[in-house]
Structures are given as C-alpha cells and as structure tokens.
Structure 1
C-alpha cells in the first residue's frame, strides 16, 4: 500500500536584538552607538517541504542588509548540517534602517573609518547573528506539520516615488498563507515595495514592516508573520518621520492582509514546486584613474573617504573589480505562481517591466534578498543619474556606477530561470 506524502510547513523565530551598544545601519549620519530598543527585532524562518523534495527555506531578517558572505555561510552550514540545496534557500531582509550594522554590508556608509571598539561590537553581532540564522532554521525544521499553501493579491498605497512624486510605484501586496487542514493559519507572508525608512532615530525597531508583522501575529495568534520588500529602491513611505507613521503603515499592511485572508485564496500545488538560483555579472562603468581618485580625496567627506579606500586597495595590490557578482533566484509553483528574489536595492522599473512581460497575476517579486551589494538601477534611472543611479555607490564601497547593460542582464536572467 502506497502512502500519500503530504506537504509540510514549519515556522520559528528568534530574537536578534543586541543587549549591548551598537551602531545602526542605513543612515551614514548616525555615528554613535545605541542601546535604545523601541521594538525588538527578529529573524523568522518559514520551511516548506513539498512531497518527495528537500525543504525550501525562507529566512526573513529584520536588518538593513545582510551581505553575501553571511548568506553563503548560512547556506553552506545548512547544506552540510541539514542537506538543504542552495537553490532552495533564500535570505530576505526587511531593510529597516533601525537595526544593527553588520560586517561586510555598506562598508563605506559612514564616510570615515569605524572606531576599533565600535567595530569589535559590530563583528560580535555579525557572528552571533550568523549563528542565530542557522539555529532558527533548525528550530523551524524540528516543528514541521502537515499544511497547505494558498495565495492572493491585493494592494496598499503608502509608498511614493522618492525621485519624482509623480513617478512610478508598485502598490501590489502579494500574500501567501500556510494553514492547517482545519484552516488555522501557520504562516502569513506578504511583500510590499517600499523602503523601511519611516523613522531615522538612533533606536532599534522594525519600522513599518516590524509593526505589520507584530500586528498580524497579534491578530492571528496561531501564525507567524513574514514581510519581504519588493523593488523599493526608489520608493519611500509617506507620511514619515514619527513612530506613529511607522505604526500607521504597518497597520495598513496588516489590515489589508487580514481582509484578504477572509476571501477565497488560490491554492498552490506543492507537487510542482521548484527552485533555481544563478549568479550573473553586472558590469561597472569605466573605473576612475589614480589621478581622479587622488582628486576626490581632496574633496573630503564621504566622497573623499571612499576614494581613500579605493586607493588603499590599489596600493595593497588589489585590482578594483570590473563587475559585480549578482544573485537572481526563483521559486515556482507550476503555472500558479512564480516568486522572484533579487539582490540589492532594485528600483521599481524592474518590477513593472517583469510584470508586464510575464503577467502580474502569477508573479511575485521580492528584492533585498541574499545580498545588499548596491542599488540596481534601470536604464532610465542611470540616464537620469542622481542617488539611486550613481552617487549611492560610494556608500557600498563600489568603484563606480553600473553600465546601462544591467537592466537587460537582470531581466534576461529572470526569464531564463523561469523558462
């Protein structure tokens, strides 16, 4: 007699709030450490085990940006310890600008070197966080139960284009629900394309995404909530500036997700679930000459410090990179749904183009996954220049901005993985 294998779901979360002073990431002007916690921050794990397959793992981390070296360390440990294929593992971060700075991300954010004692605490947190990310996956794997997945699509509207108030935005709010056979929710996952930059105080909190997850978990006590961020590179929340604004936006998301959960969601067939990942090369434009770097050093400030760092690399015998290694990942549920995971701060043009080319009714796009290497600009944004197109690269320790090829390379990679 054959036993029918049913899909299984597991969830877990772990507190990643430090109990010692630390610098926060996201804003270079904040150079003092903080111990002020307004809201705890968490790493959450969702495990999906389709019939006859190895588990799929989604990590949702409340941090500004997890660099590739942490993602790949966690992925390698999970491969060795839990036999999780790399293509089944995704690390998403909420991009809150109110969480600790980690080693290897936004390396030149502060426009000056970091004091030794500050760096020691950053390194300590980075090691502790990495260990906790492995642990929370193992906790979720230990608690799997039979479940089913469904999904739906709604919208909220607090994101605004921050380059042009009349510019493009993506207001889609895709929602995935994992539930028991009796309908009780196990996990609620949603995604919205908006920066988590409602507040800029020197305090630890999850910004609107943290408040959305907290409210959803209070509203649905049997479930764990997950928020990922879409192509929000050029989108900010409005209004902004106060904790009440962050709570208001979090409430907007939680309220709409809860409303959608009461409707008939589309079931997902896990028998057809598959995952793929590839790394492509995104080319940088022409690298400045040594004379140009020396000229920039004299400018001082963030530009000067960035130039100093580039010269130090050259003087140590390193060759400045000509390209960026960039992760593109997909999870597919047959013809029902394709989820695209893109690294970095991807601008909205990518989401709008991909949804137009592949169909928005079956496409979910999350950015801020697997790495925070840079802003990923479209051809339009590169032509316009400005922060997201060019000048932000100095905070990511990149030698220069990208060539216009990057849009086509990323879009083609997505098409290739989904074909």
Structure 2
C-alpha cells in the first residue's frame, strides 16, 4: 500500500512572518541534532557486526593494566550460593573458573579464557560469549574476574589487575535533519550502525508519530553500514554471540535516534537549502567482471544554512562499503570507519557545524584503499570541491511516499534443506559450513512452527524537497539501483540511498544472481533469508518506481 502526503505551501505565510527579503531567499525551516551511540561501561563488551570471521567473533573488550586503587574481591562470585535458573545455568557451563554478577546478569570466565554471560530471568536462555583471548585487545590469560563500580576487572596469571574497557575510536553517532514547509515536516536520520531490523525502525517511527504527528512515511532512517559498530540486528545464522545486546540496542541506540529526531524538530529555524553533485574515486565494484562494470561514483550534497546565524549543515551521500580493514587491532575497534573520518574533517575544516552521512547503493562497492582514514580524507576533499562551487537552490513543496514490493519466497523443500544440512555438518569448525547448518536449522524450525515467510518485502521511500528527490531503498542495494533510478528522471536532481529502514539482505540484480556472486546468492544464507529474490527483481523495482512516479 502506498502512503502519500502532499501540501502546497502558500508563500504569503512566509512573507507575513519574515518579510519580502527572507521570502525571496527561502521557504523552509530546518533543524539538526547529533548524539553519541558509543556503548557505556555496561554492557562490558559488545560484538562487532558485519563480518562472520574470525570464527570466535570480534568483541570490543580491551584489557588495560590498572594501577592499584584499592582492593578488588575476585572470589566473591565463586563464594556466592547460586539458586534457581542461575544454578541450573551454571550446571550447563563447562569449565567455569570464576563468576560474577551485575544488573541481573551472570558472568563467567572459562578455563579456555573466554567470557560468557547469562540472563537468569530468561528461562530458555543460554550462555553467550561476549569476549575471548585474541592476542590483541585481549592479550592476557585470566584466572579470575570481578565487577566493581559498574566496571569489569580481570586478574591474570601473574596476579596483575586489568580494567575492561571498550576499544573504540569514539566516533559512533546518529544525526538527524528535520525540514518543514507549511504543515509538512520530513526527517532524515543517519546512524553509524551496520544495519537494523524493520520492526526496530517501525517502532521508532511510531513513537515519533505519537509524539509529533509526523507520518512514518516522512521519516527516513539510514544505516552507514560500518562493519565496526556493535551488532544491532538479528544475525540469526551467525551464532548467538553475534545477536544484539539488548542493553546497547534498546538502552543506547533507540533512545539516541528518538532524541536526535525530536531535537531536530524542536530546533527548526528559517533556512536556505541547496544541492550539489560531484564525483569520487574512493570505490570500485568488488563482484562483477567484464565490460561495463557498474559503479555510480556520484557524491551528492544537500547544504542547509540557517538564515539568521549561517549555521551550516550538510547531508552527503555516496555508495561504498565501510569495511576496511578487518585486520590486526583495527578489526576489534569500534569505529564509524571512513564516513566518521569524512564527517570529522568537514566539521573541522570546511565550516560545517553538522555533517550527516547517508549510505548510497553500495552493496557491491568496496573502497579501493584498505586504509579507511585515506578513504575518508579523499571523500572529504571531493565534498569540499562541491561546496566551493555554485549549488542549486531548492524551492518548492515537500512530499513523501512509502511503498513496498513483496516478492514471493521460492523456498527449498524440507528434503533439500535436510540434505544441505547433512552436507555441511562436518564438525571441522568451518565458519561457512557452520553458518549453513544454522540456516538449515532455522528454516526447518520456521517450517515446523508454520512461520515460514511467504514474501520478502522491499521498502521504497521517496522524499521530495522542492526540486530534489531522495529515494531510499531497504536492504543492501547494489550500485545498479542508483544508476537505474536516476535514469527514470534524467532532468531532475535525484539521489538514491540503500540501507534505509530495513537491512535484511542484499538487493542484487540478475547479473549478480546468474554469476552466483556473494550479493546474489551466498549472502542470503548469512542473512537467514528463506530464499533468494526472483531473477527480475531489479526490473520489477525500477518499473514500480517508474509507474508510480513517486
């Protein structure tokens, strides 16, 4: 079902409030806000999203040697008498050598130097790994743990005390821009997360609607897709350690997104909006080969300048995976990756008060450099060039649409799923094989409970700000979608973002599927999807957008 909202703004309102001079310059109100989504000291460690490797997971915990500041009781947890679900859980955990508890959770150190957590209130819960020895951020061999003052401590085999902290660049954030004209308001938000579930975003939009009467179709929420943020979506085939920590997801990320949207709405002031476009060379197609390999290397910039104090915000968009590099200590460090570098440089060097990044259709685009700092600097330089050229001022009304296209699930038979499971259940510790076994178990369980999905929705959103059209696609859209959608309106200013409102799989084209690339086939097992898309998924989406003329 398509949701449509239109409102033609009467210029006399602006004249009445601000006079002819301001009316000639602008017809919009805008507000911006930014908030950190860095994890607090609790939870003590979070899983980093985006990579299935290494097999044991990537976690944010870093051990820092602690100067003597009073005594810590490393035996308190072992002496405590555990009862009920906690006692039953401990009986199931092999090799526990040290115990602690905090805020309703039970924590254990095992003999193989792994840290586990358990929630006794969850009757069907299990022990979940939240950190382990990796030789880098966790380079020590522990014999005991303790919790004091809301912090996790470890005692190594040399009786040295270490404090647990998050290894982080400190730049994870969420930003929002609210723009109003007449009775209509739209919101664009960007978060430094790998992705999110549709129900999570829908709940946020409903909360904003209840409080501010802004329609969900007028709110676009985009994930930067950094592979170095805490897990924020259900990676159902990656193992339990890769699932989001509810304390972080619901205690940090969700309230931060709501907060910045509400602050942006409250902060709206008369503003001038302008659009500019340039090119970048930060990425290349990682999957397709042969002639005419696609890559939309556009860099789009929305400039928002308040009239009274010239406070300047920009929204910039390009499509490229923030994936490098998953090596060394960097692979265990929380980071916004190259978009964070670009935002910081623009805010420091280009007179920008707030910079908001939107991930484009970067599903099959990787950076050409494995140095994310170099990539971020190159993109910042590209954006500065755009800002130093004349930009096209935006004028006109606000409209917005939200639609979906539901593709039928072409599921495997239970016999084929069982055979696939047997083929991969080899006990060799192979990450891909273990993922395939978990996928098979998930599909068989969904079938048993009669909850197998029958469709796979793709959400299509459009926000029109005067003569600029922003199209937002759900899932990891590949670069062809940006190229194809722009061709629908060759004479208009059109930008296309992927990773909007729901990141539940890749969104490939027939070329990816026929070539059997990761985007067209293998990734659907990682995402726990019931099937791949039909081969004409691209054509149907382009036709839907074209015929509806959003």
- Fold in common (TM above 0.5): yes
Q: Secondary structure at the residue paired with 2:378?
A: helix
Matched residue, 1:274: 399
* Whole-angstrom distance in 2 between the partners of 1:205 and 1:39: 7
* Whole-angstrom distance in 2 between the partners of 1:256 and 1:94: 18
For residues 96-138 of structure 1, the C-alpha deviation after alignment (integer angstroms, 9 at most, x for no partner) is 000010243x332x2x333xxx75x711111121122111111
State whether residues 488 and 546 of structure 2, in contact with CA within 8 Å, keep that contact through their aligned partners in structure 1: no
Could you say if the C-alpha distance between residues 47 and 101 of structure 1 is closer, same or farther in structure 2, counting changes exceeding 3 Å? same
* Whole-angstrom distance in 2 between the partners of 1:411 and 1:264: 31
Could you say if the C-alpha distance between residues 362 and 181 of structure 1 is closer, same or farther in structure 2, counting changes exceeding 3 Å? same
State whether residues 283 and 406 of structure 1, in contact with CA within 8 Å, keep that contact through their aligned partners in structure 2: no
Q: Is 1:213–2:343 an aligned residue pair?
A: yes
Q: Secondary structure at the residue paired with 1:96?
A: coil
The alpha carbon displacement at 1:222 in A equals 5.0
For residues 287-309 of structure 1, the C-alpha deviation after alignment (integer angstroms, 9 at most, x for no partner) is 11111111122213211111011
Q: Is 1:107–2:236 an aligned residue pair?
A: yes
The alpha carbon displacement at 1:386 in A equals 2.0
State whether residues 66 and 102 of structure 1, in contact with CA within 8 Å, keep that contact through their aligned partners in structure 2: yes
| Count of aligned residue pairs for this structure pair | 403
* Whole-angstrom distance in 2 between the partners of 1:181 and 1:140: 16
* Whole-angstrom distance in 2 between the partners of 1:304 and 1:268: 52
For residues 252-307 of structure 1, the C-alpha deviation after alignment (integer angstroms, 9 at most, x for no partner) is 111221221121100001x32211111210233x3111111111222132111110
* Whole-angstrom distance in 2 between the partners of 1:156 and 1:65: 24
Alignment of 1:327-342 (within 5 A): 327-334=459-466, 336-342=467-473
* Whole-angstrom distance in 2 between the partners of 1:199 and 1:161: 17
* Whole-angstrom distance in 2 between the partners of 1:24 and 1:369: 20
The alpha carbon displacement at 1:411 in A equals 1.0
Tell me which moved more, 216-225 or 189-198: 216-225
State whether residues 390 and 400 of structure 1, in contact with CA within 8 Å, keep that contact through their aligned partners in structure 2: no
Alignment of 1:287-302 (within 5 A): 287-298=411-422, 299-300=424-425, 301-302=434-435
Matched residue, 1:260: 386
For residues 354-397 of structure 1, the C-alpha deviation after alignment (integer angstroms, 9 at most, x for no partner) is 22332175211111111101111112222222211011101111
Could you say if the C-alpha distance between residues 28 and 202 of structure 1 is closer, same or farther in structure 2, counting changes exceeding 3 Å? same
State whether residues 188 and 224 of structure 1, in contact with CA within 8 Å, keep that contact through their aligned partners in structure 2: yes
The alpha carbon displacement at 1:175 in A equals 0.7
Q: Is 1:173–2:294 an aligned residue pair?
A: no
Matched residue, 2:485: 354
* Whole-angstrom distance in 2 between the partners of 1:83 and 1:361: 30
Matched residue, 1:304: 437
Matched residue, 2:249: 126
Matched residue, 2:317: 191
Q: Secondary structure at the residue paired with 2:341?
A: helix
Alignment of 1:15-414 (within 5 A): 15-19=36-40, 20-30=44-54, 31-34=57-60, 35-50=166-181, 52-104=182-234, 106-108=235-237, 110=238, 112-114=239-241, 122-128=245-251, 129-164=253-288, 167-181=293-307, 184-200=310-326, 201-221=331-351, 223-240=353-370, 245-269=371-395, 271-284=396-409, 286-298=410-422, 299-300=424-425, 301-315=434-448, 317-334=449-466, 336-359=467-490, 362-414=493-545
State whether residues 276 and 386 of structure 2, in contact with CA within 8 Å, keep that contact through their aligned partners in structure 1: yes
Matched residue, 2:34: 13
TM-score (norm 2): 0.70
Q: Secondary structure at the residue paired with 1:77?
A: helix
Q: Secondary structure at the residue paired with 1:33?
A: coil
* Whole-angstrom distance in 1 between the partners of 2:316 and 2:521: 30
Tell me which moved more, 18-27 or 158-167: 158-167
The alpha carbon displacement at 1:182 in A equals 6.3
* Whole-angstrom distance in 2 between the partners of 1:135 and 1:99: 20
Q: Gapped runs of 5+ residues in structure 2?
A: 1-11, 19-26, 61-165, 426-433
State whether residues 184 and 222 of structure 1, in contact with CA within 8 Å, keep that contact through their aligned partners in structure 2: no
State whether residues 314 and 352 of structure 2, in contact with CA within 8 Å, keep that contact through their aligned partners in structure 1: no
State whether residues 198 and 238 of structure 1, in contact with CA within 8 Å, keep that contact through their aligned partners in structure 2: no
* Whole-angstrom distance in 2 between the partners of 1:16 and 1:390: 33
State whether residues 46 and 140 of structure 1, in contact with CA within 8 Å, keep that contact through their aligned partners in structure 2: yes
Q: Secondary structure at the residue paired with 1:277?
A: strand
Q: Secondary structure at the residue paired with 2:245?
A: helix
Q: Secondary structure at the residue paired with 2:264?
A: helix
Could you say if the C-alpha distance between residues 266 and 306 of structure 1 is closer, same or farther in structure 2, counting changes exceeding 3 Å? same
Please give the root-mean-square deviation of Cα atoms over the aligned residues, in Å: 1.9
